[in-house]
A and B are shown apart, each in its own frame.
Chain A
C-alpha cells in the first residue's frame, strides 16, 4: 500500500455513511399496502427474552422415569405442536436425550397484551390427548370437531401400542400403527362399518388435543390390530406423524421445576437505558480520541462508526434472506467491549506513529511504520479475544450449531445450554473483533494515508508529533 489517492478518504467515508444509514434505518419501499424490505434496519433487531420478556422452561419426565429416545421425540413433537396451536412461531425447542430434558424458549408475543405465561407452561407440559374420530367434520371457526366427528371417538391414546415409520411393498413411506387389545375390537368395528362408506364419510381423523394431525381414509377392515397409514409421505413426515401418535400413548406427564419468565415491561426499560448509555459512551470516546490524538483520533471515530454499524448489520441479518440474531443484555456488553478493542487498535497504531514522528521520521514514513509495527500486537490481541468468543459460543450455543459441535468434546459432561444470553455475548464480541480488522486497521489506514496527502494536513503536530 504505497500511495493512497486523495479521493480515497471521501470514498471510504461515503461508503461508511451509506452503510451506517442502511444498517440503522434499513431500506424498504412501499407500494400501496405492501412494504418490501431490501435491507433490515436496527428496528428489526430480535431482542432476547431477557429484554423483551418471554419464557424459558425445561421439561422433564417425573423423577424415576427413564424415558426412551423415542418417547422424548414424541414428547418434543407434542410441545412443538402446542406451540403452534398457541400461535407461538418464534420458539426454540431442544431435546437432551441423555438427561431426558426438553428446553423450550419463546419470547413474548409483541401483539399480545394478556399473554399468560403460566398457563402456557402448564399447557405445554400436559399429556397429549390423542383421539381417532369418525369422519372429518370440523368447525370452520374454532377448528374443533363437530357432529359425528365430535361424538364418535373410535380410539384414544391408551388404545395405541405404538406407531413407527416404515416402508411398504411399493417402496412408499408409511406409518405403521399397532393397537393394544383394548383398541383391536373398536378399530375392527369402525373400519368394518366405514369401509363401505363413500368419501369423505370413510375418513378416520386423528386428533391431538383439538388439532387434526392426519385424516386417512379406510380402505379395508382391520381386525389384526395392525394398520398402516399411507399417503404421499416423506420419511420426515412419517416420523413426525408417528411421534405425534406415540405422544398420545406416553406413560408419563412432563414436569418442570426449571422455568423463567419475564414480563416485557421490566426488560424493555433496561434496553432503552443500555442503548442510551451506548450513544453517550460512543460520543465521549470520540471526543476523547479527537482531543488526545487529533487527526488520527478523528479517523478512528469514523472507523468506530463503521464497526458499530457492521455489528448491527450482523445482528439484524442485514439482507432479508439472512435470519436475524437474538441480541441480549450481555450481547450489548459484547458490542461495548468490541468498541473498546476497536479503540485500542487505533490507539496502538497512533501511538506508534507519534513515536516514529518524535524519533525524527517523515510523516509518510511514520504512518507506514506505525501501521506496520502496530499490526502484530493488534493481530495477537484480537485472535486471543476471538478464542474467548468462540469458546463461549461453543459452550452456550444451541445444540447442533457449528461451534457447539466443535467443542462438544469439552462440554459433553454438561447438558445443552439454557443460557442463550451468554452466547449472544460471544457472537457480538466475535463479530466486533473481526470487523475491527476491517475498520480499525484497513479503513483507518486508507483514510489516514489519504488525508495525509492534503497540504493542510501535513503538519506533524496533527499526528501527535512535536509542534513545529
Chain B
C-alpha cells in the first residue's frame, strides 16, 4: 500500500513547481491567442506552378494596404503547396477587400490559378466575445459540478470535497495551458474543447476515489484516521485509475499518431494536450484531490479539538 497522505508534501511541492513553470513560461514564451479569440485574418490560397514569394508579398501588401506575413504550407489531401497570408495586425478584412485581393492575384498571375481554399477572418469584437463566452462556460460548469459534488458527498464534508475537486481540476487546466504554451500552439477553440474534456475526465477520476472514501467511511465507521481512510481508498482505486487512463491515453495516442502522419495540425494540437491533461488528471485525482481533502478534514478536527 502506498502512503499517499504521508507523501502529500512532496506532491504539493511538485504541483506548485509545475504551476510555477506554467506561469514562468507564459512570461518567457508568451501566450498567443488564436485569431478565433483575438480577431485577425488568415487567408489560404492554393496555386499551381512556381511563385515568386517576394513579389506576391509586395503585391498583397500594396493591394490591402496592410502588413502581412506569407508562408508556404503543404496540403496533404491534395499534395499541393498553399500560400498562407496572415495580417500582422489583429484586425479583420472586409469581404470587399478580400475579394479584391483574390481578383488581383488571379489577374496578375493568370497562369498560377490562385484559389482561396480557406478563409479565417474574425472580427476582433466577435472574437473577444467568443473567448469570454468560453471562459464563462468553463466557470459555470466548474460551479455546477462543485454544487453537485457538495450535495452527493455531503456525508464526507461535501463543500470541502467539491472545492478540492475543483482545485485539482484547475491544476489540470493549468497543465493543459502549459502544454499549449510550451508547444507554441495558439490558444484556440481546441484549447476550450481540451479543457472541457479534461474537466469531465479528471472529475470522473476524482469522484471514483471520493466514492471509495464515502463507502469506506460508512464501512469502517470512523475507526480509521483520515489519513488511513484516504490511503486505503486511493490504493483500492489505483488499478481502476491506471487502467482507465491507459485505455483512454492509448486511444488518444492513436489519434495523435494519425494526426502526425497526415499532418493534421488541428487534430494534433487537440490530441496531444489531451494526453498531457489525462496524465495530469491521473496525478491530480490520486495525489492531489484526496490528500488536500485529508488535510482540510484534519485541520477541521484539530480546530474542533
Contact = CB atoms under 8 A, between A and B. Distances in A.
Interface of A: 57-58, 101, 117-119, 121-122, 125, 255-263, 265-266, 268-270, 273-274, 276-277, 280-282, 284-285, 288-289, 292, 329-330, 333, 336-337, 339-341, 343-344, 347-348, 351, 355, 373, 376-377, 380-385, 387-389, 391-392, 394-396, 407, 410-411, 413-415, 417-419, 421-422, 425, 429
Contacts of B243: 292, 347, 351
B20 interface: no
B133 A395 contact: yes
A247 B290 CA distance: 62
B270 interface: yes
Contact of A391 (B115, B141, B236): B141
A381 B118 contact: no
A392 B46 CA distance: 35
Contacts of A384: 145, 148-149, 200, 203-204, 207
Contact of A414 (B136, B196, B244): B136
A366 B250 CA distance: 29
A276 B251 CA distance: 12
B132 A387 contact: no
Contacts of A351: 239-240, 243
A266 B192 contact: no
A280 to B, nearest CB: 5
Contact of A122 (B95, B247, B274): B95
Interface of B: 36, 46, 75-78, 92-96, 98-99, 102, 115-123, 126, 129-130, 132-134, 136-137, 140-141, 144-145, 148-149, 152, 189-190, 192-193, 196-197, 199-201, 203-204, 207-208, 210-212, 214-215, 236, 239-240, 243-244, 246-248, 250-252, 254-255, 257-259, 261-262, 264, 266-267, 270, 274
A280 B193 contact: no
Contacts of A414: 129-130, 132-133, 136
A337 B257 CA distance: 17
Contact of B95 (A256, A415, A422): A256
A266 B196 contact: no
Given A257-B94, A285-B251, A351-B239, A380 B211 contact: yes
Nearest to A267: B77
Given A257-B95, A347-B240, A383-B148, 13 more contacts: A58-B126, A255-B94, A255-B95, A265-B78, A273-B261, A285-B251, A336-B252, A340-B248, A351-B243, A384-B207, A392-B196, A417-B133, A419-B36
A410 B139 CA distance: 10
Contacts of B244: 340, 343-344, 347
Contacts of B126: 58, 101, 258, 415, 418
Contacts of B197: 333, 337
A262 B78 CA distance: 14
A400 to B, nearest CB: 17
Contacts of A417: 130, 133
A117 B35 CA distance: 21
Given A258-B126, A383-B148, A388-B200, A419 B189 contact: yes
A415 B201 contact: no
A348 B130 CA distance: 38
Can you list the 6 inter-chain pairs with the closest CB atoms, starting with the nearest?
A: A269-B77, A340-B248, A281-B251, A377-B211, A381-B204, A395-B137
A134 B141 CA distance: 60
Nearest to A389: B200
B294 to A, nearest CB: 19
B201 to A, nearest CB: 7
Nearest to B76: A269
Contact of A418 (B130, B196, B207): B130
Nearest to A262: B118
Contacts of B122: 258, 260
Chain B, interface SS category:
helix
A385 B200 contact: yes
A280 B189 contact: no
A268 B264 CA distance: 11
A254 B152 CA distance: 52
A440 to B, nearest CB: 12
A333 B149 contact: no
20 contacts: A58-B126, A118-B116, A255-B94, A288-B246, A329-B266, A337-B248, A343-B247, A344-B208, A348-B240, A351-B239, A373-B215, A380-B207, A384-B148, A385-B203, A392-B137, A392-B196, A394-B137, A395-B134, A422-B192, A422-B193
B91 to A, nearest CB: 8
Nearest to B97: A257
Contacts of B240: 344, 347-348, 351
Given A340-B251, A388-B145, A270 B204 contact: no
A337 B132 CA distance: 25
B199 A388 contact: yes
A139 B76 CA distance: 46
Interface centre among B94, B116, B193, B250 (most CB of A within 10 A): B193
A194 to B, nearest CB: 40
A285 B95 CA distance: 47
B55 to A, nearest CB: 23
A242 B116 CA distance: 37
A295 B7 CA distance: 37
Nearest to A259: B121
Given A266-B75, A285-B250, A388 B196 contact: yes
Nearest to A119: B99
A423 to B, nearest CB: 11
A384 B198 CA distance: 12
A256 B141 CA distance: 33
Contact of A422 (B189, B207, B261): B189
Contact of A288 (B120, B250, B257): B250
B290 to A, nearest CB: 14
A125 B270 CA distance: 34
Contacts of B262: 269-270, 273
Contacts of A125: 95
A381 B236 contact: no
A396 to B, nearest CB: 8
